[in-house]
Amino acid sequence: MKELEVRTASSSYPVYIGEGIRKQAAAFLTSLNRPMTKILLVTDAEVDRLYGDDMYQLLSEKWPVKKVIVPSGEEAKSLEMYERIQTEAISFHMDRSSCMIAFGGGVTGDLAGFCAATFMRGIDFIQMPTTLLAHDSAVGGKVAVNHKLGKNLIGAFYQPKAVIYDTELLQTLPEQELRSGMAEVIKHALIADHVFLEQLLGLQTLNGLTSDDLNEMIYKGISIKSAVVHEDEKEEGIRAFLNFGHTLGHAIEAEYGYGQITHGDAVALGMQFALFVSEQAVGCRMDRKRLTEWLRGLGYPGTIRKDIETSVLSGRMMNDKKTRGGMIQFIVLKELGKAGDLMLSRDELENWLNKWRMEETA
């Protein structure tokens, strides 16, 4: 097992990573020395089907536990589910010393985290991630639900008290979800660690990944994320670098419709575009062809659906949380392993996107 400590301006907490460690969850939780009068275990339907009963049994030996199951997938990150979980917490008579545990992927973590942040103005919250993507979402304290008009628009910064990451759970993850999570691992390498990137470039397929590979990737990815969050918890500066690939990625997710493309596939498209802008506008030196071919070889898409117009995407991008006075903060690479930003107007962004899409279809 590996352990690291995330230190932010507001708090610090342990991250445990290892195979089978969910079985030690009670011991980890006890060692936090928190009152934990009751536990609300929030999970999604698929994770519940696979592991829900076991987890419930494990925890209920020590604490009063109520399990709440939300539908599997992005749809669950809604105000409706938010209210349902709060209703369950109130009717279970939870108090300010109770705790919510998110047992699932990024959707469950974001949703349960936002519930914990606001239930009685904030109660303890534990992340038990079950997807590769959640190496990103479970650390750093961004919690949110979606609004009809945009993703993650209603949320908070709220750090968990601990992250317990049992990597054995990833064995049942479908390949497309593994690839989705891998996009964030690649993002972490691209923005902060060119040696790690070179290592990843050695991978030809995601099929043969061993649990050692996964443990290592998760450890490195979380280390990079926690170093960024340590310096800038509330995204006033360098934390924005974590949005590499996400400006276009979020616009693609919204246009395809949630559930029609995974977060990671959309981000991989966004990263290919951001690499293009980095090379063309910032002069970042790289073998872009090698990078894009590698990504496509791993199964990521290389082009955006043709029927989606560039102007529609640029309009979406301008609604992003990263817009300031009509200019968008677009994250680029100055060199491989080093991020920076570029302020772009909507026209400039649309121009770059048109050029990139033309190159991709040429």
Enumerate the known binding-site residues for NAD(+).
72-77, 106-110, 130-131, 142, 151
Q: What are phi and psi of 131, to 5 degrees?
A: -120, 165
- The Cα 190–Cα 199 span in angstroms is 12
- The Cα 48–Cα 104 span in angstroms is 9
Q: Find the length of the chain.
A: 362
Please say which residue, 171 or 303, places its beta carbon nearer to ligand NAD.
Answer: 171
Contact call for residue 221 and ligand NAD (CB under 6 A) = no
**Residue positions forming the annotated binding site for Zn(2+):** 184, 246, 263
Q: Which parts of 132-161 interact with ligand NAD (CB under 6 A)?
A: 133-134, 136-137, 140, 142, 152
Please say which residue, 36 or 128, places its beta carbon nearer to ligand NAD.
Answer: 128
- The Cα 286–Cα 335 span in angstroms is 8
Q: What is the DSSP letter of 240?
A: G
Minimum distance from residue 362 beta carbon to ligand NAD (Å): 32
Minimum distance from residue 132 beta carbon to ligand NAD (Å): 8
Binding segment toward ligand NAD, per CB under 6 A, in 39-47, 60-68, 197-205, 274-282: 39-47
Contact call for residue 270 and ligand NAD (CB under 6 A) = no
Q: Which of 78, 131, 243, 247 binds ligand NAD (CB under 6 A)?
A: 131
- The Cα 291–Cα 326 span in angstroms is 32
CB 104 within 8 A of CB 44: yes
Contact call for residue 110 and ligand NAD (CB under 6 A) = yes
Residue 66's Cβ-side half-sphere holds a number of Cα atoms within 13 Å equal to 17
CB 288 within 8 A of CB 276: yes
Q: Are strands 2-7 and 12-18 parallel, antiparallel or unpaired?
A: antiparallel
Please say which residue, 251 or 284, places its beta carbon nearer to ligand NAD.
Answer: 251
- Applying CB under 6 A, the residues found at the interface with ligand NAD are 44, 46-47, 50, 72-74, 77, 104-108, 110, 130-131, 133-134, 136-137, 140, 142, 152, 169-170, 172-173, 177, 180, 263
